[in-house]
Amino acid sequence: MRVLHFFKTYWPDTFGGVERTIHAIAKGTAKYGIQSEVLSLSKTPAQNSREFDGHVAHKAKLDFEFASTGFSREVFGRFRELSEKADIVHYHFPWPVMDVVHLTSSLRKPTVVTYHSDIVKQRMLLQLYKPLMHRFLTSVDKIVATSPNYAATSQVLQRYRDKTTIIPLGLDEADYPHASEDVKARWRGRFPKPFFLFVGVLRYYKGVHILLEAAKKTKLDIVLIGEGPMQALLKAYAGEHSLENVHFLGALPDADKSALLELSMGFVFPSHLRSEAFGLSLVEAAMFGKPMISCEIGTGTSFVNIGGETGISVKAGDPDALANAMKRLESDPNVATSLGAAARARYEEWFTAQRMAMAYAEVYSALYQLSSPMKLHVEI
């Protein structure tokens, strides 16, 4: 069976949460005889097709971007060419250009959409986009939500309940290099005191500005891994308020990130808006057995981190609550250890790449069978 994944960005241009999810699905479903390809846009597609970890990443030329949406004339032809060879087309929402490509392609292949997020920031543009969006979502065969929390709180998904299923995002532990003792010793030397860790792109909805407010209320060290559009403003704020307990490390190699995840006292994730639809960094923290602090925003963050079981869930946008949660975990190591062990157990039950890949293989198989009942069922 051949599956074509379609999203606006992919390796090697970017490798964020959605891209990591596509990679994990492509890699994980290969064991079920599913051959995956990925089509995305690139400003500089030096090669139109490149092999990546057992699957092929295809590129179409990115012409320009507007409101976080990439546009391309070339992608219409590339999509038609690649979708003709596919048995299933797997879309990753949201990306309005994808809707147009789909609706103008006369595609007659089974389709599945992973609904990663509502459109939250561009509210005015959303009103113009809604008719196109609903035509697209009505036309596809299956929609996958990444958590029951998001499916229950998304007004868009509620409209398509009959064809929506839940498959939580998952990560493969094998993709995370084990940190050597030398690497861990180097980071211990830099951060000898207990510290909390944040990992993520520094975007407006990540709530890092709220975390910096919380940092003023505690002397605990807070280490941040990641870069992004808010980086300069956040660093300036930390400098203005002499937040010597806040440490911006920028982007780091995976071995260093693994070391800091191992060494951290806990993981703090202050995202305060629904743009944070799942929080794959929380899955990383759970994989490393760390107690988590997150905000209740009605999305998948509260499916990964269950308050009182795997960590602490606090009111969104409340720096006092964030500070108190960090103080609580620091003051009671036994509670922190217990919550971290439960987080690890929850990762193993719900958020492995193997579980996610098996669930998608079952979705593909069912769609494949419906489209051509005489074809063989995929062995799960």
What pLDDT, in 10s, does the model give residues 268-326? Answer: 999 999 989 999 999 999 999 999 999 999 999 999 999 999 999 999 999 999 999 99
Residue-wise DSSP of 165-221 = EE----B-GGGSPPPPHHHHHHHHHH--S-EEEEES---GGG-HHHHHHHHTT---E
Q: Output the average pLDDT for the chain.
A: 94
pLDDT of residue 110: 97
Level-2 CATH architecture, domain 173-350: 3-Layer(aba) Sandwich (3.40)
Digit-coded pLDDT (tens) for 237-272: 999 999 999 999 999 999 999 999 999 999 999 999
Q: Phi first, then psi: what are they for 125, rounded to 5°?
A: -65, -30
Measured distance CA(284)–CA(225) in Å, rounded? 13
What angle (nearest 5°) sits at the alpha carbon of residue 56, between those of residues 52 and 58? 115
The whole-number average pLDDT for the span 6-30 is: 94
Extents of the domains making up the chain: 2-172+352-371, 173-350
**The predicted structure's pLDDT at residue 379:** 56
**What's the CA gap between 269 and 125, in Å, rounded?**
29
Distance CA 271, CA 338 (A): 24
CA angle 7, 86, 63 (to 5 degrees): 35
d(CA 299, CA 274): 7
Q: What is the pLDDT of residue 375?
A: 53
Q: Which CATH superfamily is domain 2-172+352-371 in?
A: Glycogen Phosphorylase B; (3.40.50.2000)
Tell me, yes or no, if the two domains 2-172+352-371 and 173-350 fold the same way: yes
